[in-house]
């Protein structure tokens, strides 16, 4: 995920949004590059969510085989109004059956796996993110920033998303 939602919530608290992190048991999670995330909640203690952003990374492969995790994702779909994923987080949504008949994307190197997990979904290979109403899927890492800014625009307004983009100094014009 990107810093955009956290920046938004912290910089514009009157907008009424908070960002929280969670893990299954509330214990720290080590990301693929070694960053350790210290969640604020476990699945048991997390307050009701309005948006769930499922991250990608190596850990998603284990989630594809973890029926308890997939059941948790399915239960969230029943109560969380807006579900989003970054990178390979969409693989978990596909495996849980949330993307059947819907458009979606993921990291370019996992597009074939996404198709294999659910042949009934519509792969959007060239889209940085796909907003299908109550589910949004983004492609690889920086595409998660694009998706997060889309969330800010949807949940508040476009001008706020522009302010957040400026605040995090995100100007998607590659230097090379």
Q: What is the CATH number of the domain that holds 137?
A: 3.40.50.880
Domain assignment of residue 15, yes or no: no
Q: State the pTM of this model.
A: 0.92
CA distance linking residue 54 with residue 59, whole number of Å: 11
Look up the domain containing 93 and give its range. Answer: 4-10+35-167
93 in a structural domain = yes
Q: Are 67 and 75 in contact (CB under 8 A)?
A: no
Nearest to 136 by CA among 89, 104, 165: 104
How many domains are there within the chain?
A: 1
Helices (H), 32-140: 59-63, 67-79, 89-95, 111-117
Of 1, 52, 53, 87, the catalytic one is 87
176 is a domain residue: no
Please write the tens of the pLDDT for every residue from 64-115.
999 999 999 999 999 999 999 999 999 999 999 999 999 999 999 999 999 9
Q: Does residue 21 fall inside a structural domain?
A: no
121 domain residue, yes or no: yes
Residue 87 appears among annotated catalytic residues: yes
Is residue 172 included in any domain, yes or no?
A: no
User: What integer pLDDT is reported at residue 174 of this predicted model?
Assistant: 72
Which residues does 119 contact at the CB level (< 8 Å), separation at least 6?
none
């Amino acid at each position: 995920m990107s810093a955009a939602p956290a920046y938004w919530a912290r910089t514009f608290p009157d907008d009424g949004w908070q960002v929280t992190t969670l893990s299954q048991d509330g214990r720290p999670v080590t990301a693929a590059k070694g960053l350790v995330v210290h969640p604020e909640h476990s699945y048991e203690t997390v307050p009701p969510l309005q948006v769930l952003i499922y991250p990608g990374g190596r850990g998603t492969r284990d989630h594809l085989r973890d029926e308890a995790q997939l059941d948790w994702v399915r239960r969230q779909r029943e109560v969380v109004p807006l579900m989003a994923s970054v990178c390979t987080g969409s693989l978990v949504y596909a495996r849980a059956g949330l993307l059947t008949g819907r458009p979606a994307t993921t990291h370019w190197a996992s597009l074939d796996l996404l198709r294999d997990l659910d042949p009934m979904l519509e792969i959007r290979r060239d889209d940085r993110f796909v907003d299908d109403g109550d589910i949004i899927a983004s492609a690889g890492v920086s595409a998660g920033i694009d998706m997060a800014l889309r969330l800010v625009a949807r949940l508040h307004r476009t001008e706020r998303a522009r302010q957040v983009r400026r605040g995090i100094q995100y100007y998607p014009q590659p230097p090379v």
